[in-house]
Copies of this chain bind each other. A is one copy, B any other.
C-alpha cells in the first residue's frame, strides 16, 4: 500500500539521533560511496540507498556521498522536503552548505529518476520506483526490463533514464501534507500519450498533481462537520 505517509506533521525534520555507529555502508559496488552516514539512516533507507547507487551507476552516474546524503534525507522524510529544509539538515558542526550544493544533488537525482519534484509544493519526494526495485530484488542486481537500452521502464508505469520520458502522478493532501505517487497504473500516462499524439506534441516530461484530501483526512473532516 501507499498511503499518505503520516497524519499531521508536514515537513518533519530528521531527528539527528545517535544511531550512527553502525556499519560504514560502503556499498560494495563500483560507486564512489564512502560516507559514514552521519544522519542515522534506518537500515531500510540504507538498503534503498545502495539500490539507488547501483541503479544510477548502471546509467553512468556516480552516487557520491553528497548525493547519497540528500537522497537519504528525502527517503527518510515522511512528507515532501524543500531544498532549504535539506540545506538545514545537511549542516555539519554549525557550517551549512550553500544552495547550489543541494540543488546540484537534486538535479542529479531528478535526472536519474530517483526523486520527483512536486511543482505545487516546490518540494521533493523519493520515487516509489526505488522501493519497488528494492522489493523485487534487494541485492540490487537486476534493474528492470530494458536496461540494455539505458531506458528503464518500471512496472509502476513511469519511465526513467536518459532516453525515457519522466512522468509521474501525485495525490497531495492539503490537510496532512502527505503525498502519494500513483504508480500502480499506466492509465493516466497512456491517456496523456494519446492526447499528445493527437496534437502532434512531443512529450518530454509530464506531471499530474491532484490536490485535495486523502482518505484519512476526508474521514476526519466529515466527522468534524457532520453534527
Which of B196, B200, B213 lies in contact with A201, CB distance below 8 A? Answer: B213
Whether A208 and B192, one on each chain, are in contact in the complex, defined by CB atoms closer than 8 angstroms, is: yes
Question: Whole-angstrom distance from the CB of A174 to the nearest CB of chain B?
Answer: 7
What separation, in Å, do the CA atoms of A169 and B212 have in the docked complex? 17
Residue on B with the closest CB to A198? B185
Which of B119, B185, B195, B212 lies in contact with A188, CB distance below 8 A? Answer: B195
A182 and B211 in contact (CB under 8 A), knowing A174-B204, A218-B202? no
Does A19 lie at the interface of the complex (its beta carbon under 8 Å from any beta carbon of B)?
no
Does A95 lie at the interface of the complex (its beta carbon under 8 Å from any beta carbon of B)?
no
Does A29 lie at the interface of the complex (its beta carbon under 8 Å from any beta carbon of B)?
no
Q: Enumerate chain B residues within 8 angstroms of A185, measured Cβ to Cβ.
A: 195
What separation, in Å, do the CA atoms of A208 and B207 have in the docked complex? 6
A211 and B205 in contact (CB under 8 A), knowing A187-B195, A188-B192, A191-B187? yes
Interface size class of A (residues with CB under 8 A): 20 to 34
What separation, in Å, do the CA atoms of A171 and B174 have in the docked complex? 26
A214 and B201 in contact (CB under 8 A), knowing A206-B209, A207-B209? yes
Flag A92-133 by CB within 8 Å of B: 1 or 0 each.
Answer: 000000000000000000000000000110000000000000
Q: Enumerate chain B residues within 8 angstroms of A202, measured Cβ to Cβ.
A: 212-214, 218
Whether A210 and B196, one on each chain, are in contact in the complex, defined by CB atoms closer than 8 angstroms, is: yes
Instruction: Known A-B contacts: A180-B199, A185-B195, A202-B213. Give 13 more (CB < 8 A).
Output: A119-B120, A120-B207, A174-B204, A187-B191, A187-B195, A191-B191, A192-B208, A201-B218, A202-B214, A205-B211, A205-B212, A206-B210, A207-B209
